[in-house]
Structure 1
Amino acid sequence: MACRTHGLAVSKVVLFFLSSVFAAAEGHYRVPFRGLMRFNPVHDTTQRAVFEELWFTQKLDHFNGADSREWKQRYFVNEAFYKPGGPVFLMIGGEGPANPAWMQYGTWLTYAEKLGALCLMLEHRFYGKSHPTADLSTDNLRFLSSRQALADLAHFRTVIGQTRGLTNRKWVAFGGSYPGSLAAWFRLKYPHLVHGSVATSAPVYATVNFPEYLEVVWRSLASENAECPLLVKKASDTLAERLKDPKTYDNITKDFNLCSKLQIHTEMDSAYFLETLAGSFMDVVQYNQDNRAFEGVLGTNITIKVLCSIMGDESLGDPYARYVLVAHLMMDTFSVKCLDASFSNYVRDMTNTSWDGPAAGGGRQWVYQTCSEFGFYQSTDSPNQPFIGFPLVYHVKQCADFYNISTEQVAEAVAQTNEYYGGYEIRSSRIVFPNGSIDPWHALGITRDITADLPAVFIKGTAHCANMYPARSEDLPQLSLARDHIFVLLQQWLKQ
């Protein structure tokens, strides 16, 4: 899954989808959350044809023995490197469709070739083609949770182990962003089933308010040019000020090529618009200089350096004008005809419960998980970040609007998540936690060794899930060393 989770991922967070601020529905739809690892759609259909879609009979509710309902969960297998007696690698799907490109490319396959591993990838319930219920109604979404997903993994591992004669093999879980968290928690909660885990860019600590995300965005932009985040802030502040005057709406509509005339009736309207534009910077920072092109992902050429070069070019006009140019660059890159900045349209799409709905690719599902488990709301509630106008209240209100989940219920759910998994205080063994310093999600991850058997790998200068992508000649030396270090850990653990 392309790290976009994740995935962690997320979210709000999450990760969404088409690895940009803009997503695909009708050429202008977007989900204003990011974070977690993603298996983005592959444009080369020959890649998909290489690996057959397989289906596993899964339980709908693992925690109710009286509920006998079942459904079909999608998974993929790569047996090319397997040597009898070798380990089993399990790539965990996240908040998007499982992309079979990961059965051909990625660091985990390099490890598999060296270690003679069988490789499996299991799609997350409620994402991609893995549909446990008839629709995405809030009542059905109660079966969508990390706990149910972990139980899916456990049941899958048990049954596949029995049917393929792999019960006594050593299984290793892999995941990035939200699936990275799942990889860690799988080892934590089912230590008898999984021997070790590589939990990349995993946000293991749940929090309702996550302003630290944008604080890392500030620092990551400043790492390229100290003036860059200041110019972004000036542009964002200017736009927010103009939104107070309806006389500016026609010009703003034209500037940003909006799909319809800008309408600001509530603070939710302005927050959605401001977050949409900020999302360009947030996404680019999160995936800066990664190697996702093999997945069919667009826009990998847009980096922090590119955005800061635009924001720093005085010949292009004032900071607001340069902000506009960044938005157009993103739209052009993703072939977006116009920018849908309508919060009411967003609400309409997010409350569509059909599997054919515009948010069924993952948006409705992931935001539900943030409301019911994780929070992760990337608010502007910190002075040490470059944006304005989308505070925590804007995020949590959506939980009520979309799923009838109150602010108090969100807070209680997040507290329960940390109580169940341990947050930063996770205690287990044979889990490695790689994170990148550029990636905003590292603020919720493990960046220092907990014990010798719970090591962190903090990679300076890299972004979200960088160590998972295929190696290339331009990789930073510390990224190559990190991949090597993880391999050495796997070798050691598989001998234990």
Structure 2
Amino acid sequence: MPALWKLFLPLLCVSLAKASDVFDFLRPTIFPKVSNDKSLVEEWYFTQKVDHFNILDDRTWSQRFFLSNTTYNASTPVLLVLGGEWQIEPGHVNNGFIAELAERFGAFVIYLEHRFYGQSKPVPDLSLENLAFLTMDQAMEDTAFFAQSTKIQMGLDGPWILIGASYTGDMAAWARARYPHVFHAAYASGAPVLAKAGYEEYFEVVNTALLIENASCPSVIEAAMNELQILIENGLADNITTLFNLAERIDLANLNDLTFFRFQISAIFATLVQIARPGSNGIICDTLLSGQDNPLDTYSGLLRLLMQGNPLNVNTTKIVEKYRDQVEFSETSYTRQWIYHCCNEFGWFNPLSSPNQPFGQQVPLDFMLKFCSSVYGPEFTPERLEAGTARTNLLYGGKNPQASRIIYTVGTLDPVNPVQMDQDINPESPVIFIEGMSHCVDVTDASKPNDPQSLIDARQRIFNIFESWL
């Protein structure tokens, strides 16, 4: 167990000291924890419009960004790295493959924080009225207006290249397509380009990743879930509460609480596969298999370890109240903002409904979508989300975008890959599949001597493509 914790602690990037539910746990940055040497960057703020689409609204706000402290050389590339649903940190661009790209091409690096996250607050609070300004359209306009203005003000006249990972991989690709006169190229790592209310395939990929490590690995999880079902059927709430270190005694007669409990204990585990680095899935399976004679004890012990002693809250009434009533910005949790965005434009919820995974099939999509209406109001219906995802796919093309000079990277063991690009659309927008890799490892992590050949080859291909485009 200690080896597992030592491996994953730098990757989780969450404030586990305050994690109390699955949303706190699942909203990490996609970057591993690294040195945040602020001497390597300068912190600046840029004046943005609150509403880019209302000429009568003259309100402004300050968007934070980091600049390389290097001297810009005329006509060299500018790498505009897009922050997402996290607070930007200098280490995200001082380290990892982004730093290697900058060194290779002598590029000037800018790291732009996303509206509503970190220190970039366009409105005073998170009231529903103010959350209306958290849209892809507004964020894209932020990006283009920033680039256009900064290019002129600072004389950054070289080609601008967008870099994004996960959701901001979408932003990078879509901004390149929408503003080709502003951005020369884009690199979209692990981008979920297809907006979709939910996709059960997420947990199927988790299953595949574990099967590759050991054919018996998922069966330990399945056995644990079967053992848990027996405890539920026998009404042994105290045993379950103790095993999973729940914040309060679980009410097994409350179907909402029980369903949410099932989702939490599955999704937290699945996160380990989503953030996996080379070798880490093997350690997960070794841990499970070493305790396969007592599968539920082993599985629950692993989750307690990951929660670092923090009790898990499965009371759906309290969870809904927590995020429904939150008005003030939080320095540690961005759940209210992010789920609002998903309930409006993206979806990307992960139901437990497929038979091709070991966690059970007792968390339907309609249960997950109820969170939208419970937290944000009755108008946040499945039909509204369906219209929102349809609009997103119409605007940006889903898995069939028509754009040039965009590199997409997809890890074959990334649980998010069912909504990522699955084939090359044209030679000018290649999709690089990285065998055995999970979510965004190619862009976030630094190159290491023992990297898998698939990752080495992918990065070399990225270098080669950018050289041809520059």
TM-score, normalising length from structure 1? 0.87
Q: Aligned-pair distance for 1:345?
A: 2.8
Corresponding residue of 1:98:
88
Q: Aligned-pair distance for 1:356?
A: 4.5
Local SS of the residue matching 2:223? helix
Q: Where do residues 124-143 of structure 1 align in structure 2 (5 Å cutoff)?
A: 124-143=114-133
**CA distance in 2 between partners of 1:371 and 1:440 (Å):** 20
Corresponding residue of 1:448:
423
Q: In the alignment, is residue 372 of structure 1 matched against residue 372 of structure 2? A: no
**CA distance in 1 between partners of 2:10 and 2:387 (Å):** 31
**CA distance in 2 between partners of 1:453 and 1:398 (Å):** 40
Q: Aligned-pair distance for 1:19?
A: 6.0
Give the aligned residue type for 1:38: I
Give the aligned residue type for 1:304: N
Q: Where do residues 335-350 of structure 1 align in structure 2 (5 Å cutoff)?
A: 335-350=308-323
**CA distance in 2 between partners of 1:36 and 1:183 (Å):** 20
Corresponding residue of 1:309:
286
Q: 1:132 to 1:215 in 2, by over 3 A?
A: same
Local SS of the residue matching 1:434? strand
Uncovered stretches (5+) of structure 2, i.e. residues with no partner = 1-8
Q: 1:266 to 1:417 in 2, by over 3 A?
A: farther
Corresponding residue of 2:405:
430
Q: Contact 2:164/2:189 (CA < 8 Å) preserved in 1?
A: yes
**CA distance in 1 between partners of 2:12 and 2:97 (Å):** 23
Uncovered stretches (5+) of structure 1, i.e. residues with no partner = 1-16, 291-300
Local SS of the residue matching 2:423? coil
**CA distance in 1 between partners of 2:19 and 2:370 (Å):** 27
Local SS of the residue matching 1:107? helix
Q: Aligned-pair distance for 1:85?
A: 1.6
Q: Aligned-pair distance for 1:344?
A: 2.7
**CA distance in 2 between partners of 1:395 and 1:60 (Å):** 31
Q: Aligned-pair distance for 1:156?
A: 0.2
Local SS of the residue matching 1:52? strand
**CA distance in 2 between partners of 1:382 and 1:96 (Å):** 30
Q: Contact 1:188/1:428 (CA < 8 Å) preserved in 2?
A: yes
Q: Contact 1:39/1:97 (CA < 8 Å) preserved in 2?
A: no
Q: Deviations over 1:117-172 (max 9, x none)?
A: 11001001001111111111111111101111111000000110110012x42100
* Residue correspondences, number: 458
**CA distance in 1 between partners of 2:450 and 2:267 (Å):** 27
Q: Contact 1:204/1:446 (CA < 8 Å) preserved in 2?
A: yes
Q: In the alignment, is residue 146 of structure 1 matched against residue 143 of structure 2? A: no
Local SS of the residue matching 1:74? strand
Q: 1:453 to 1:37 in 2, by over 3 A?
A: farther
Local SS of the residue matching 2:48? strand
Corresponding residue of 2:145:
155
Q: Deviations over 1:217-242 (max 9, x none)?
A: 11011111111112212212332443
Structure 1 stretch displaced more, 194-203 or 269-278: 269-278
Structure 1 stretch displaced more, 103-112 or 68-77: 103-112
Q: 1:19 to 1:479 in 2, by over 3 A?
A: closer
**CA distance in 2 between partners of 1:244 and 1:429 (Å):** 56
Q: Aligned-pair distance for 1:354?
A: 2.9
**CA distance in 2 between partners of 1:306 and 1:161 (Å):** 47
TM-score, normalising length from structure 2? 0.92
Corresponding residue of 2:388:
413
Q: Aligned-pair distance for 1:245?
A: 4.1
Q: Where do residues 72-221 of structure 1 align in structure 2 (5 Å cutoff)?
A: 72-80=62-70, 82-166=72-156, 168-221=157-210
Q: Contact 1:81/1:113 (CA < 8 Å) preserved in 2?
A: no
**CA distance in 2 between partners of 1:152 and 1:200 (Å):** 21
Q: 1:186 to 1:225 in 2, by over 3 A?
A: same
Q: Where do residues 379-390 of structure 1 align in structure 2 (5 Å cutoff)?
A: 379-388=351-360, 389-390=362-363
Q: Deviations over 1:395-431 (max 9, x none)?
A: 1000001112111111111111111111011000000
**CA distance in 1 between partners of 2:309 and 2:318 (Å):** 16
**CA distance in 2 between partners of 1:38 and 1:473 (Å):** 22
Corresponding residue of 1:26:
18
Identity of aligned residues (%): 34
**CA distance in 1 between partners of 2:27 and 2:118 (Å):** 17
Q: Where do residues 288-307 of structure 1 align in structure 2 (5 Å cutoff)?
A: 288-289=276-277, 303-307=280-284
Q: Deviations over 1:81-102 (max 9, x none)?
A: 7432201110001111112112
**CA distance in 1 between partners of 2:111 and 2:143 (Å):** 10
Q: 1:108 to 1:40 in 2, by over 3 A?
A: closer
Give the aligned residue type for 1:156: F
Q: Contact 1:35/1:177 (CA < 8 Å) preserved in 2?
A: no
Residue from 455, 462, 465 that aligns with 1:486: 462
Q: 1:382 to 1:262 in 2, by over 3 A?
A: same
Give the aligned residue type for 2:23: V
Q: Contact 2:125/2:329 (CA < 8 Å) preserved in 1?
A: no
